[in-house]
Structure 1
Amino acid sequence: MPEYLSVIIRGAGILVVLFFVTKVLGKKQISELSFFEYVIGITVGSIGAEIITGLDRSFIHGVVGILAFILIPFAADLLSLKSKKLRDFLEGKGLVLIENGNVLEKNLKKERYTIDELMELLRRKDVFNLSDVEYAILEPTGDLNVLLKREKQPLTPSDLNLKVAPMKAPRTVIMDGEIMDEALESIGKSNEWMKSELEKLEIKLENIFIGQLDSSGQLIIDQFDDNISTNASVDEGPYLIATLNKCQADLELFALSAHEEQAKLMYIKNSEKLKRIIQDIKQDLQ
């Protein structure tokens, strides 16, 4: 057999072996590596290269060597699940670089980081002023996690005691001109409903590259033609009116079943309020 053909066959064989080995070890091995995993990866890569090009060496012996090295991190992972000390030794521990707004120069020198490198890591987190940082920790993977000072953190609805509706992940309901029935069923919609909505928008199904439906009922459509992009709000008016009517009917029912006069008046008052809101919405939808 020609040497080049042998190299190709060996290379394909090692690729298959490493693929299945990585699948067994899990996604952790393709994420950011710890020191231990980094060393193992380099060693396995070197063995694989030697097997492919070392035509005078046994292919089977090389595969056994790779499997032996792969068993080491696999066993280490199992043991580290039960031992915090072993986990800290193999994977390392996070090191605080900024605490209470002060840079810990001793820890910075321990990791051999300069202030310029620290500022670069902060800029990656969109932090440009050192004075804005309350706490920063360097993770074992080399990533810097930052906690801003209270007054520098973005304002949230909870800070204003505001209640907001929960957001749901958008559902991809159309892909490559095909309706995704499973995604539609998960949000209580049907294939026929989607086709009727596309007819309203005068868009052909086969012309749609991708279509997503968010929790607010907005249908975002991207067509195969890059010059056309459609953002269309699905008509949810009837559903909204029906839901509000049900709430208003429930309030009337609560008023009838209430034993205390104060509670009964509260339900009646809110029912009348909701009735006026429904009338206003109906006028807006006309």
Structure 2
Amino acid sequence: MLLYVGKVILLFSISVVVIRLLGKAALAQLTPHDLTAIVFLATLAVTPLISEDMGRAIIGIVVVTILHIIFSKLSLFRWLNRLLIGEPTILIRHGKIIKQNLKRSHYSLIELLATLRAEGYPDLKNVEYAILEPTGDISVIPSKDSILLTPKHLNLDVEYEGMPISLIIEGKIQHKNLNLIGKDAEWLKMKLEQDGYHKMADIFYAAVRDTDESLIIDTGKEFS
């Protein structure tokens, strides 16, 4: 039993490390070789739990990882990119569905309409283009009459509020982020005391905006 548990821990750890090495794109936007690599890795990692052939499984994981890296490099060449990843397909143009492209992409009308509703476009006339990306996502470009007004359209200048940088998470100081803004723990302690907070452990979350030194503080306590 201990040997079996050891196998599970080892194979699980190896799989996590290897998938991490595949890169964030392999998880965020699955291309055909990304998906194939992950499926193969999962299969190879589980195989030794059924049989005793541990060595072959580890070799297989290494080979699949190398193949994934090779395919990723090959996909950078334009002439191979179309073969390995594919091209975007226009499903809607100027509010009109292109039936042949739907059929060619094996994408049903029901799926398309559901995706458009989820994106906030229940009416086709509000869609200028709907494009099926190689990753399987649908990109929707609204018609000019459906574009939401922004300050830019109204020629308004909006002040940049800044991005909050976490300094305390669950009572723990984030020293890397403090170094990022050129501050230290003593500065943070002083700022907290100025705001009436004397115990670091009482603070669930604290952040500072990158435009100034104002703190955002949340103690995690619900309002009564």
Query: Could you say if the C-alpha distance between residues 175 and 24 of structure 1 is closer, same or farther in structure 2, counting changes exceeding 3 Å?
Result: closer
1:45 equivalent in structure 2: 42
1:244 equivalent in structure 2: none
- Give the helix-richer structure, 1 or 2: 1
- RMSD between aligned alpha carbons? 2.6
1:115 aligns with 2:112: no
Q: TM-score, normalised by structure 1?
A: 0.68
Identical pairs, percent:
29
Query: Could you say if the C-alpha distance between residues 64 and 154 of structure 1 is closer, same or farther in structure 2, counting changes exceeding 3 Å?
Result: same
Task: Tell me the distance in 2 between the aligned counterparts of 1:49 and 1:91.
Answer: 28
What is the aligned counterpart of 1:174 among 144, 164, 168? 168
What is the aligned counterpart of 1:204 among 167, 187, 198? 198
Cα deviation for residue 190 of structure 1 reads: 6.6
1:95 equivalent in structure 2: 89
Task: Tell me the distance in 1 between the aligned counterparts of 2:186 and 2:130.
Answer: 53
1:136 aligns with 2:130: yes
Cα deviation for residue 77 of structure 1 reads: 1.0
Structure 1 window deviating more from structure 2 (207-216 vs 95-104): it is 207-216
* Counterpart residue type for residue 104 of structure 1: I
Query: Could you say if the C-alpha distance between residues 68 and 135 of structure 1 is closer, same or farther in structure 2, counting changes exceeding 3 Å?
Result: same
Larger Rg: 1
Task: Tell me the distance in 2 between the aligned counterparts of 1:73 and 1:203.
Answer: 51
1:20 aligns with 2:14: no
1:174-214 CA-partner distances (Å, limit 9, x unpaired): 33345556645655767566545544443333321112233
2:141 equivalent in structure 1: 147
1:66 equivalent in structure 2: 61
Asked whether the equivalents of residues 95 and 107 of structure 1 are also in contact (C-alpha less than 8 Å), the reply is yes
1:255 equivalent in structure 2: none
1:222 aligns with 2:210: no
* Counterpart residue type for residue 210 of structure 1: Y
Q: Secondary structure at the match of 2:166?
A: strand
Query: Could you say if the C-alpha distance between residues 125 and 190 of structure 1 is closer, same or farther in structure 2, counting changes exceeding 3 Å?
Result: same
Cα deviation for residue 75 of structure 1 reads: 0.8
2:208 equivalent in structure 1: 213
Task: Tell me the distance in 2 between the aligned counterparts of 1:181 and 1:141.
Answer: 37
Q: Which runs of 5+ in 1 are unaligned?
A: 229-286
Task: Tell me the distance in 2 between the aligned counterparts of 1:146 and 1:36.
Answer: 25
1:241 equivalent in structure 2: none
Query: Could you say if the C-alpha distance between residues 29 and 156 of structure 1 is closer, same or farther in structure 2, counting changes exceeding 3 Å?
Result: same
Q: Secondary structure at the match of 1:14?
A: helix
Asked whether the equivalents of residues 94 and 125 of structure 2 are also in contact (C-alpha less than 8 Å), the reply is no
Task: Tell me the distance in 1 between the aligned counterparts of 2:18 and 2:142.
Answer: 41
Task: Tell me the distance in 1 between the aligned counterparts of 2:212 and 2:117.
Answer: 35
Task: Tell me the distance in 2 between the aligned counterparts of 1:158 and 1:186.
Answer: 31
Query: Could you say if the C-alpha distance between residues 64 and 190 of structure 1 is closer, same or farther in structure 2, counting changes exceeding 3 Å?
Result: closer
Number of matched residues? 222
What is the aligned counterpart of 1:34 among 25, 31, 34? 31
